[in-house]
Chain A
Amino acid sequence: MRNWTHEVVRMTDIHKSFGSVHALKGVKLQVHAGEVHALVGENGAGKSTLIKTLMGVHQKDQGEIYIEGKEVTVQDPIHAGNLGLGCVYQDVTIARHLTVGENFFLGKLPKKKGLVDWDTVYRETGKTLDGLNIQVNPRAVVKNLSVAQQEMVVIAKTVHQDCKLVVFDEPTALLANEEVDELFKIIDTLKNKGIAVIYISHRLEEIFQICDTITVFKDGAWVNTVETAATDEDQLIAMMVGRTIEDMYSIEHCEPGEVVLDVKGLTRKGAFENINLTLHKSEVLGMFGLVGSGRTEIMRAVFGADSYEEGTIELFGKEVKITSPRDAIRLGIGLLPEDRKEQGLSLATSVKENINLATYDRIMDRGLINLRKESAVAKKYVKDLLIKTPSIEQKVKNLSGGNQQKVVIGKWLNRDSRIFIFDEPTVGIDVGAKREIFRLFEKILEAGNSIVLISSYLPEAMGISDRLVVIHEGKKMDTLMRDEFEEERILRLASGIKSLVEE
């Protein structure tokens, strides 16, 4: 192990139970100044619980926490802040209608003669942002910033309070590739300032890119702490899931059949232009592009969720007019939207109702819902898709991300959809659940149905797709066949560079 000189946080033998669930079973973690320490494991492995224990959100049942060698009991998140511990949570927590400066000083606005001292607010905020090389105006209203900028603001705000340690919990889930690079620059800056960083991510490639040390958790227990240079992805996955996965991103491909979807000249001004696509039977068509390139908008238009101005859509050889999701669904298209919580699921209702949501017509007897059929259908999909839920009456908001995603898939399988549009299906989902979702892809293809996979994650897009359409600023750059997939080429196209010659 490399010799780190200054220990910032040490946690030893931490235990934590919630009722009968033993969430942490004597785990340990040690992080040093200037170290970027990755915490990996499947969902439910205990990463978040450990961080919440450190941040004072939960109280440990047993064990010790040392900050710079001194034992402490972290009472609550405010206490954690005073101790120099900061955490950037997965969901961006910031007041969207206020300015960046106001957010920085939220709850502690400086005053001069009883009035808010705005000059100080914006000057100090500006200083902090400059110190981290973040190009954001302190006077800008947060909601007018891009998601990436908002995240940068949250990071800066966290660091702002004399931090010794910053935790990043899935920081890149919502970021496009070039924005991830920005984030990594900031992490580098923190590292150079001697701040300790804990980095939680499902994206192993990122971990290999920026982390010095990796600690692996499984089922609430510590498995190993290794130096990044001394391990590789396969080893790591093996430690995380307790079995080897040769290749995360591969599926059985079928022989693609005839054209089922033919989109010609699809245009909506300002969003996408003259898009031509074909999708074959039993094929996965990948759609790759940076966030905001228009991939989602194109497929939402095909699904009827948004409008388009020009172009034609042919389905199974017949030209169709799709003006609403209802039309698309009737014609056999299902959409798994980008944001499952905001668009995909009715969170406050049960698994049963979500699975039946698009199909109530089919389980009606004389105009009334047949409750037995409703339950039977839900049970069938819970069983077939291995949805982990205590019962079909469980509210969907209580399920994990992977299981929520399976509920959405179940809804479309139940509707006998022929074309499945998956928009970022594996964002924020652990390794095991990803595999299960890809297994479902295989089933869909075997049954002679087709998939459009929108992904901003290149290994996934390359591994799963039969063909890959690359989109840049609303225009189709190219369609690549599987044997033409090359990381560099795809990234070039996605950045708007047609060929090497043009450069």
Chain B
Amino acid sequence: MTDATMKKEQIKPGFLDKINAFRNRYSESTLLGILIVFVIFMSFASDRFLTLSNISNLLRSTSIVGVAAVGMTFVIISAGIDLSIGSVLGLSGVIAAMLMTSGVPIFLSILGAMVCGTVVGVIQGWVIHKGSVPPFIATLAGMMIIRGGVMLITGANMISGLPKSFRSFATAEFLGLPAVFFIWVAVLLLGAFIAKYTKFGRNVYAIGSNEEAARLSGINIQKNIVMVYGFCAFTASIAGVLFLIRLGNGLPSAGTGYEMDAVAAAVVGGASLMGAEGSILGTFLGAIIIAMIRNGGNLLGINSFILNIIVGSLIVVAVLLDQKSKKQGK
């Protein structure tokens, strides 16, 4: 093929490509539809729902787990799972708090916390690949070990006395929305960018689809697995710092149970635990939908136990719908 014809094809994507791209985006547009319907319904059902303060609150509480869910999405796409992110979140928060209270500058303290968290993820990734330990087991062990470690170094005590300038970020706003939300958006954009434009992103999908085929195509499996768990722990560490900001104190039990909320967001957003399926946009919508159900339910005075049942059902329905559309696609 000559260069001239190549160029022509680059500029003009085929009609079928467009249809297919739309179909690939279909599951996300369904989620967006559900979201819009829900927002409209809620704005009628409760006049407090569509207020700036409620939306701010909702975003503030969702952003932390939402940040961690970005890394989790990559792990799930690689056909893995990371149960340790709640503990990593706790670890990073506590380390940042301890560094700050011992006089280390804020920026360096945050950096130190993130490096620590990421290293923990890298180690887990290495154990998973090198030792062929199933991710579920390796990160379950990681979850316990890390949490135990956090409790040990803090004596299970809260760490208080953080610098005021650091704590003030908790209430900081930008364009009327909480600043923490913009950090979430930044992490989401980073994740979407990595998935689309980097070799690492493509490799994660390929490994999730078929690790042996990826290896025989020359992909360095170890490097990519280590990176994916490292990245997941990195986003969990960011979430840990955000949690610390929000609470104003270093809490050793911070992040307990967040791993499952992150998995729920990814799965509602279309990720498959079998690997190779999932997107950052989907995870974002999944997290928002779950948060809105909880928030809306609270406003309507629905018992929180019932809300748990509803969110649980939503996860099953999301997967069922996904399976059905896949079968129809065949």
Within the complex, which residue of B6, B16, B206 is in contact with A390, where a contact is CB–CB below 8 Å? B16
With a 10 A CB-CB cut-off, give which of B212, B216, B220 has the most chain A CB atoms: B216
A326 CA / B14 CA spacing, docked (Å): 34
CB distance from A299 to the nearest CB of B (A): 12
Interface members, chain A 381-436 (any B CB < 8 Å): 383-384, 390-394, 398, 411
With a 10 A CB-CB cut-off, give which of B1, B213, B329 has the most chain A CB atoms: B213
Tell whether A349 pairs with B276 under 8 Å between CB atoms, given A369-B198, A376-B6, A393-B20.
yes
Residue pair A375, B10 in contact (C-beta under 8 Å): yes
CB distance from A389 to the nearest CB of B (A): 9
Within the complex, which residue of B6, B199, B216 is in contact with A380, where a contact is CB–CB below 8 Å? B6
Tell whether A393 pairs with B17 under 8 Å between CB atoms, given A349-B205, A380-B1.
yes
A384 CA / B9 CA spacing, docked (Å): 14
With a 10 A CB-CB cut-off, give which of A358, A371, A372, A391 has the most chain B CB atoms: A391
Within the complex, which residue of A325, A371, A391, A392 is in contact with B217, where a contact is CB–CB below 8 Å? A325
Instruction: Please encode chain B, from 176 to 220, with 1 for each CB lying within 8 Å of some chain A CB and 0 for all others.
Output: 000000000000000000001111001101101110111111111
In the complex, what residues of B have CB within 8 A of residue A348's CB?
205, 208-210, 275-277
Tell whether A305 pairs with B215 under 8 Å between CB atoms, given A326-B220, A364-B199, A369-B198.
yes
Closest to B219 in A: A357
Interface flag for B21 (CB, 8 Å) = yes
Interface flag for A167 (CB, 8 Å) = no
Interface members, chain A 329-345 (any B CB < 8 Å): 329-330, 335, 337, 342-345
Secondary structure of the B side of the interface?
helix
Interface flag for A189 (CB, 8 Å) = no
A348 CA / B77 CA spacing, docked (Å): 11
CB distance from B206 to the nearest CB of A (A): 5
Interface members, chain A 100-135 (any B CB < 8 Å): none
In the complex, what residues of B have CB within 8 A of residue A375's CB?
9-10, 13, 17
A337 CA / B214 CA spacing, docked (Å): 12
Interface flag for A274 (CB, 8 Å) = no
Interface flag for A353 (CB, 8 Å) = yes
Interface flag for B330 (CB, 8 Å) = yes
Interface flag for A346 (CB, 8 Å) = yes
In the complex, what residues of B have CB within 8 A of residue A384's CB?
1
Instruction: Please encode chain B, from 22 to 57, with 1 for each CB lying within 8 Å of some chain A CB and 0 for all others.
Output: 001000000000000000000000000000000000
Interface members, chain B 212-243 (any A CB < 8 Å): 212-220
Tell whether A349 pairs with B209 under 8 Å between CB atoms, given A364-B199, A369-B197, A393-B21.
yes
Closest to B208 in A: A348
CB distance from B24 to the nearest CB of A (A): 6
Interface size on B, residues (CB 8 A): 37
Within the complex, which residue of A326, A367, A379, A380 is in contact with B218, where a contact is CB–CB below 8 Å? A326
In the complex, what residues of B have CB within 8 A of residue A330's CB?
218
CB distance from B2 to the nearest CB of A (A): 11
Closest to A336 in B: B216
Interface flag for A368 (CB, 8 Å) = yes
Interface flag for A83 (CB, 8 Å) = no
Residue pair A394, B20 in contact (C-beta under 8 Å): yes
A335 CA / B9 CA spacing, docked (Å): 29
A59 CA / B184 CA spacing, docked (Å): 51
Closest to B199 in A: A360
A394 CA / B329 CA spacing, docked (Å): 11
Interface flag for A162 (CB, 8 Å) = no
Residue pair A353, B218 in contact (C-beta under 8 Å): no
Interface flag for A347 (CB, 8 Å) = yes
With a 10 A CB-CB cut-off, give which of B21, B209, B275 has the most chain A CB atoms: B209
A349 CA / B77 CA spacing, docked (Å): 11
With a 10 A CB-CB cut-off, give which of A330, A361, A379 has the most chain B CB atoms: A379
Q: Using CB atoms and an 8 Å cutoff, list the residues of chain B in contact with chain A.
A: 1, 6, 9-10, 13-14, 16-17, 19-21, 24, 196-199, 202-203, 205-206, 208-210, 212-220, 275-277, 329-330
Q: Using CB atoms and an 8 Å cutoff, list the residues of chain A in contact with chain B.
A: 303, 305, 325-326, 328-330, 335, 337, 342-349, 353, 356-358, 360-361, 364, 367-369, 371-373, 375-376, 379-380, 383-384, 390-394, 398, 411
Task: Give 16 pairs: A residue, B residue, CB < 8 Å, sorted on A.
Answer: A325-B216, A335-B216, A343-B210, A345-B210, A348-B275, A360-B202, A360-B203, A367-B198, A368-B198, A369-B196, A369-B198, A371-B197, A380-B6, A391-B19, A394-B20, A411-B217
